[in-house]
């Protein structure tokens, strides 16, 4: 029997990627293509759904051809995607009625604020595990229905379909044969009751969205159907779906309660597996579905840090003290510590667990002796301190001990950051051999569904930790640094609080 592979499609916010994995979890071939970012007005972010589909189909074909394979050699396709991004299209023609409204888009913020004023916040939180925010899909769907001529009438007549990006891709791969999503993506729409895993009639009424628009909610690992397009020479099972952060959690093998992963990208997304029952957060974290395999559903707590790799980009692009992001580690290593400098990188406010949109980036503790190296060191330390704050909130919410943190993303390559992270957490930091954990998670889910891999025990051996960072620093020194960090965060928030209303930050 010829060698078979799993094709993972990773549809992200700025590019579409396709990666072919073999049975050992190794990358056989990959392809990537960026697509257009559309900014019609300040705070609005859109994508062309047809370009999303064209680029994703294109890289899927390209990766397969690169490997010298055809459709018959692909055992299954797994899909992972940018979450919350919202697409509405005509069932008859398959044509979008409007551009995709991206998760970053803020046009519905005023509507969400009105819902809060009207007293709906607690209901939404209790049913969905989410904070009431324009970030999620529900208010975006409503905006399309209210602002695209004829859309609401067509929706009420059953002529329109709504989906997140996974639904849109599967609709196109099956030429309109399947309108499905999985529980992880459904849990980010603000329309799914995460306790029953069903679309919620009360929430649909609140957002005025016809139920007929919604996809069927399925598990994260099952055969949904087969491809019908000409992208591949033969039909291939579509067998796994998960939103990008949940896919990374699964790719990191965080399959037991208390296991945590942190993705160090532009910002940080930290997720903790909390087991088979959802828990409401008391510390401003989100409760979300981690995945569903068979009849077993796992839940997660999620915390977002707005500025991680973006801090390093600021040192490079705005401050000019490094030429490439990779240089920050060498610069920071020129000094043994930050020399009393503390950097709160709240350029876009503070995320979890503080949620202060008015806070702004602040440097404390500067003296005549402070150098570029001290600032670089403080920037690296700030990423680790922010991660500590979210992890402590997770620990308190879940009442679970944290023994280790699994890491991925670009900044996970920074050895200084990873060691300092272990020191600050007082726990091991595990970095896997393969950092493409999002695509790998989608591949695992699809492979399990078709029997390509036998089960979780087989998967655990596929992407072992490449490097383990254990705590080494003097705990008293670390505790003093943590105390200084929290003092700086309080000061930054106090600064924002004292701004006169006429000069409030945008």
Q: Coil, strand, or helix at residue 333?
A: coil
pLDDT given at position 349: 77
Task: Tell me if 192 is assigned to some domain.
Answer: yes
Q: What is the pLDDT of residue 90?
A: 96
Task: Indicate whether 506 pLDDT > 50.
Answer: no
Residue 184 tokens read as 């992880």
Residues in binding site for ATP: 13-15, 266, 309, 313, 410
Q: Which domain holds residue 79?
A: 5-218
Which residues are annotated as part of the binding site for ADP?
13, 17, 266, 309, 410, 414
In the predicted structure, residue 306 carries a pLDDT above the cut 80: no
Evaluate whether residue 337 is within a structural domain. Answer: no
Residue 490 belongs to some domain of the structure: no
From the annotation, which residues make up the binding site for glycerol? Answer: 83-84, 135, 244-245
Task: Name the nearest CA neighbour of 427 among 390, 448, 466, 401.
Answer: 401
DSSP tag of 51: H
In 308-398, which ranges are continuous DSSP H helix?
Answer: 309-314, 327-332, 372-398
User: Does 477 have pLDDT greater than 80?
Assistant: yes
How does pLDDT run across 28-68, given as a tens digit for each residue? 999 999 888 888 887 788 999 999 999 999 999 898 888 77
- Within a domain: 169: yes
The answer to whether the beta carbons of residues 191 and 204 sit under 8 Å apart is yes
Annotated binding site: 13-15, 17, 83-84, 135, 244-245, 266, 309, 313, 410, 414
How many separate domains does the chain show? 1
DSSP H or E stretch at residue 404: strand 404-408
**Residue 237 domain flag:** no
> What would the two tokens of residue 21 be?
């994995």
Q: How many CB atoms lie within 10 A of CB 466?
A: 11
pTM: 0.86
CA terminus-to-terminus distance, the chain: 61
Q: Which residues are annotated as a binding site for sn-glycerol 3-phosphate?
A: 13, 83-84, 135, 244
Share of the chain above pLDDT 70, in %: 97
Higher pLDDT, 403 or 9: 9
Answer whether residue 138 is part of any domain.
yes
Asked whether the predicted pLDDT for residue 220 surpasses 90, the reply is yes
Mean pLDDT of 162-189: 96
Residue 434 in any domain: the answer is no
Between the alpha carbon of residue 346 and those of residues 9, 145, 304, 374, 492, the distances in Å are 33, 35, 13, 18, 8
* pLDDT 10s digits, 292-301: 998 899 999 9
Residue 405, in any domain of the structure: no
CATH number at residue 136: 3.30.420.40
Maximum mean pLDDT: which of 81-90, 267-276, 488-497 = 81-90
């Amino acid at each position: 029997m010829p060698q078979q592979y799993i094709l993972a499609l990773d549809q992200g916010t700025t590019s579409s990627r396709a990666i072919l994995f073999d049975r050992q979890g190794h990358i056989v071939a990959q392809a990537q293509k960026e697509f257009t970012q559309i900014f019609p007005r300040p705070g609005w972010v859109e994508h062309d759904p047809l370009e999303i589909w064209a680029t994703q189909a294109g890289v899927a074909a390209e990766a397969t051809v690169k490997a010298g394979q055809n459709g018959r050699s692909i055992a299954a396709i797994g899909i992972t995607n940018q979450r919350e991004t919202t697409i509405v299209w005509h069932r008859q023609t398959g044509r979008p009625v409007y551009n995709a409204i991206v998760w970053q888009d803020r046009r519905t913020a005023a509507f969400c604020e009105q819902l809060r004023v009207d007293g709906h916040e607690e209901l939404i939180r209790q049913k969905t595990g989410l904070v009431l925010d324009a970030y999620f899909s529900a208010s975006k769907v409503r905006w399309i229905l209210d602002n695209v001529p004829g859309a609401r009438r067509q929706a009420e007549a059953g002529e329109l379909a709504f989906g997140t990006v996974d639904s849109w891709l599967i609709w196109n791969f099956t030429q309109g044969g399947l309108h499905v999503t999985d529980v992880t993506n459904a849990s980010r729409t603000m329309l799914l009751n995460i306790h029953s895993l069903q679309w919620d009639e009360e929430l649909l009424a609140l957002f005025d969205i016809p139920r007929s628009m919604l996809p069927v909610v399925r598990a994260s690992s099952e055969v949904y159907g087969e491809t019908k397009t000409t992208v591949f020479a033969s039909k291939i099972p579509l067998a796994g779906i998960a939103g990008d952060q949940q896919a990374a959690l699964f790719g990191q093998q965080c399959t037991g309660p208390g296991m945590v992963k942190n993705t160090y990208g532009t910002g940080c997304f930290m997720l903790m597996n909390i087991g088979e029952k959802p828990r409401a957060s008391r510390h401003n974290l989100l409760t979300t579905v981690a995945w569903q395999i068979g009849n077993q559903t796992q839940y997660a707590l999620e915390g977002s840090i707005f500025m991680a790799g973006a801090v390093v980009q600021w040192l490079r692009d705005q401050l000019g003290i490094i030429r490439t992001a990779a240089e920050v580690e060498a610069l920071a290593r020129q000094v043994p510590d930050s020399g009393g400098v503390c950097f709160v990188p709240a350029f876009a406010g503070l995320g979890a667990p503080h949620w202060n949109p008015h806070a702004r980036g602040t440097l404390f503790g500067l003296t005549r002796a402070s150098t570029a190296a001290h600032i670089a060191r403080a920037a690296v330390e700030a990423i680790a301190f922010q991660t500590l704050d979210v992890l402590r909130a997770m620990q308190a919410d879940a009442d679970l001990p944290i023994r280790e943190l699994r890491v991925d993303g670009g900044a996970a390559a920074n050895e200084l950051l990873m060691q300092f992270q272990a020191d600050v957490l007082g726990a091991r930091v595990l970095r896997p051999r393969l950092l493409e954990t999002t695509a790998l998670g989608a591949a695992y889910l699809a492979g399990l569904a078709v029997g390509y891999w036998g089960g979780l025990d087989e998967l655990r051996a596929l992407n072992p930790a490449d490097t383990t960072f254990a705590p080494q620093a003097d705990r008293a020194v670390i505790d003093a640094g943590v105390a200084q960090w929290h003092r700086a965060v309080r000061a930054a928030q106090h600064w924002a609080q004292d701004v006169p209303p006429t000069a409030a930050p945008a």
